[in-house]
Amino acid sequence: MSTKEPSEADILRPINTLTKKYFLVYGIAAIGLLAFIVAWGYQLQKGLVVTGLGDWGSGGGSTWGLYIGAFIWWVGVAHGGIILSAAVRLLGMDRYMPIARLAEMTTIGGLSAAGFYIIVHMGRPDRMVTSIIGHYHITVNNSPLVWDVTVITAYFVLSATYLGLTLRYDVNRLRDDLPDMFEPIYKIMTIGYTKREDEVIQRMVWWLAAAVIIMAPLLLHGGVIPWLFALLPAMPAWTGAIQGPMFLSIALMSAISGVIIISYGFRRAYDWDHIITDDIFRGLLLWLGFFTLLFLWFQLQAVFNGIFLGPLDKAHAAEAKIAHPLYRIAIGLIFASLVYIFAQGIRPALFSKKRALVVSCAVLMGTLTEKVLFVVEGFMDPHFNIYANTPGSYFPSAIEWLSLVGTTALVVLLFLNLSKLVPVVELHAIEHLRGEHEHSEEATEPEVEA
């Protein structure tokens, strides 16, 4: 651990500095987003025919593909992010307080990307409001897609409230050191603030965290999102109760990996060795290992159920899955990550932040590949598998690939913008690190010894 004392100046550094590197990253991200928006404009003009998608069945295509795969992946990142943050608050895992806000911002970013994908994926996005809101009272009773939109919206509101409430404390106290040009925004954020509310806000945030922890497995990434697929008997590659836990484990893996990458970036950029400590990376890595283990276990269950004596449709789907080279690569990446995490747990000398970064990227690539494959697999081995043109073919078009660049750029830009506006590390965390936080409690998790 560093001997430096964490200070307010540390967390204000991103706001009050402007470097060439920042502009460079900003420029690249902006170009990435712009490139996709142009491509999307072309798609709107020509129709979805510009994608690699098609009709499953006699048509020999895949109805959904990368757009939906990436959509559920981003939702997973988002849900995992807020679960991480809620766990920190609810279970008193104070050790991770410095990254709690980054996790919350990841949620906002992930949900924005996911929401964008919903619109990009539709044939008539212009009708989003009239057709969906207009019939909401009917469709909410039975359409998993409507449940989906509902929970994502609810989650967005919940996360934004959560973030907004905790920011009031910081912004109020650090106001004098924040740039004047954002004055109106700070005014709105801290409207009606008094110091007496701190305790109330603490309680509200606790309850919001409790709601997140309860809702996430039951309704969100452990419920409604997998139900979009798991409830359909037409596609044996998707059906089954295992999808709930499976999706949740993927969400948590992706989110932890995402937070590791973002934390790494901020630590490096702003010399936060003493704030986002090695210990945090070690801890996150162990959690990542835990959820990776769960994920591999669920995969084993799902596949083995199909290939041992599965009903024919399920058996075909499972056989096709394990035979797919990309599936093997994805699972291989994730398994290798688990092996490394396990090894560095036993021999701490094997740990390095760079390795943690590599593992996180591997896991994210693995989960994204698995998600896109998962979506496509449904159409390749349907229950009614009579068509000569099924399994069909699907390969994402350039525009679809570009959507990954665009949404990633969107999230990067969100972080770049937010980091100039508000502290991305909580004031509470600094206070806690200095040992002066009034609410500090015993950490429930013993720190890993280096």
Contacting other proteins within 221-260 (CB under 8 A):
232-235
- Distance between CA atoms of 12 and 16, rounded to whole angstroms? 6
In three-state secondary structure terms, 429 is: helix
267 exposure class (CB count in 10 Å sphere: 0-12, 13-18, 19+): buried
Q: Which of 36, 56, 71, 169 binds other proteins (CB under 8 A)?
A: 56
Residue 215, Cβ density class (10 Å: 0-12 exposed, 13-18 middle, ≥19 buried): buried
Residue that has been written with the tokens 């499976």 in this structure: 246
In the list 2, 24, 34, 55, the residue contacting other proteins (rule: CB under 8 A) is 55
Contact 400, 69 (CB under 8 A): no
Query: Which of the residues 340 through 369 are near other proteins (CB under 8 A)?
Result: none
Question: CA-CA distance, 222 to 293, in Å (whole number)?
Answer: 17
**Which one among 8, 26, 37, 57 touches other proteins, defined by CB under 8 A?**
57
Judged by CB under 8 A, the residue of 146, 219, 322, 416 near other proteins is: 146
- Listed ranges 20-28, 91-99, 354-362, 376-384: which one lies at the site for other proteins (CB under 8 A): 376-384
Q: Taking contact as CB under 8 A, which single stretch among the options 90-98, 135-143, 164-172, 186-194 is the one that binds other proteins? A: 135-143
**How many C-alpha atoms does 126 have within 13 Å on its Cβ side?**
4
Contact pick of 40, 117, 394, 415 for other proteins (by CB under 8 A):
394
Site for other proteins in 23-42 (CB under 8 A): 39, 42
Which segment (48-56, 217-225, 250-258, 412-420) binds other proteins by CB under 8 A?
A: 48-56
DSSP state of 185: H
Q: What sign does the CA torsion over 337, 341, 343, 348 have?
A: positive
Q: By C-alpha distance, which of 88, 128, 31 is closest to 429?
A: 88
CB nearer to other proteins: pick between 23 and 384:
384
DSSP class per residue in 236-254: TTT-STTHHHHHHHHHHHH
Q: Which of residues 89-128 bind other proteins (CB under 8 A)?
A: 121-125, 127-128
Check residue 261 for interaction with other proteins (CB under 8 A): no
Interface pick for other proteins out of 395, 434, 438, 450 (rule CB under 8 A): 395
- How far is 428 from 405, CA to CA, in rounded Å? 34
| 117, 128 Cβ separation under 8 angstroms | no
Considering only 11-19, 56-64, 81-89, 156-164, which stretch makes contact with other proteins by CB under 8 A?
Answer: 56-64
- Is 190 among the residues that bind other proteins (CB under 8 A)? no
Q: Which residue among 159, 277, 390, 419 contacts other proteins (CB under 8 A)?
A: 390
Q: Site residues for other proteins, window 305-334 (CB under 8 A)?
A: 312-313, 326
What is the smallest separation between the CB atom of 391 and other proteins, expressed in angstroms? 9
- Residue in 22, 35, 63, 361 binding other proteins, rule: CB under 8 A: 63
DSSP 205: H
